[in-house]
Structure formats: C-alpha cells, structure tokens
Amino acid sequence: MTGRFWLFKTDPEDFSLDDLKKSAAQTTGWSGVRNYQARNFLRDEIKTGDEVFFYHSSSDSPSVVAVCEIVKEGYADETQFIKTDLHFDPKAKPENPVWFQVDIKLIKELDNPVSLQKMKENKKLKDLLLLKRGNRLSVMPINENERNEILLMSES
C-alpha cells in the first residue's frame, strides 16, 4: 500500500467487520456517506492504494478493528438515485451525482483492536482528528505518525 492514510467510521449494526469479511473478495463499496467534507475526500483525495483503518463506532467499545486498502477511487454512489433507499437524494441525477463512494478491501484484521479510550490516553495521538471535540466525520485523513502509532498500539 502506498499513498495517504484514512480512518473510515462505521456503525457495526449497519456494516461491521464481519460483514466486510463475508463480502465477495472481502471488498465493498463505501456508500451512504452524506457529509460534504467526507464526500470531497471520497471524490477528490482518496486514491487507489491508500490505506484505511476500519473503525467501529457506536459500539460498546469504539475501536479500530482492521486495516483495509482502497481498490477503486471515487465514483457515483448509486444509493443516491434509489427512491426507496435510506440514502436517496432527490437533488442527485445520474448525469450530475452529488455523492460518491470508493471501494475498500480488507487487508488484515487487528489481533488487538485499538479502542477510542486507548487512543485518547495516548499523547502521541493528541491531534488525531477522530479525537477532536465535535468531529462527526465518517471519513477522515490521518497522518503517517498517527497511523504508525495506532498499528504499534494494536501489537500490544
């Protein structure tokens, strides 16, 4: 893997690591993102080969649980066009999509998930966007030092 590093948050009740593991080729489209800043990352900045931390939010112990790789760059999120879908957007048109997604592939499940609490306690992660008050982004960049520290934490 090369390039940039990202953290993707998911509610395990909606889509969990187990769901990803059961997906064909352990690959899935990351759809349903409805925040403009996160959309811009998906559309403009996330590239094939970038590394992604798969993060379970809204759980008993929110944690980074796996490492994934971007295998397809931003393309139109089809859920925006499906009237019966929770993520339908009446403003979106196939010729002018509003929302985008990428495809991710599971690389490895972490033997020791890294909890939100442990990240909060680690001074080396004090600038991690995930830990910033009021941050609600489901897709966010992380830097190489943060990435390395989280991987190191997953080894202990």
Average pLDDT of the residues in 123-152: 94
pLDDT of residue 2: 61
Q: Side chain identity at 9, as an amino acid letter? A: K
Two tokens, residue 140: 């966010």
Two tokens, residue 86: 């929770």
The Cα 150–Cα 64 span in angstroms is 8
Residue 1, pLDDT > 60, answer no
**Tens digits of residue pLDDT in 48-92:** 999 999 999 988 899 999 999 999 999 999 999 999 999 999 999
Question: How many domains does the structure of the chain reveal?
Answer: 1
Q: Residue 83 sits in which domain range?
A: 5-154
**Tens digits of residue pLDDT in 21-51:** 999 999 999 999 999 999 999 999 999 999 9
The Cα 14–Cα 70 span in angstroms is 20
Pairing state between β 139-142 and 51-56: unpaired
Bridge partners of residue 70, in order along the sequence: 104
**Tens digits of residue pLDDT in 112-122:** 999 999 999 99
Two tokens, residue 22: 């059961």
pLDDT of residue 133: 87
Residue 5, pLDDT > 60, answer yes
- Residues in CB range of 128: below 8 A, 6 or more apart: 119, 142, 146
**Considering the chain, what is the average pLDDT of its residues?**
95
Full strand arrangement of the beta sheet holding 63-76: 27-30, 100-115, 63-76, 51-56, 5-10, 139-142
CATH value at residue 121:
3.10.590.10
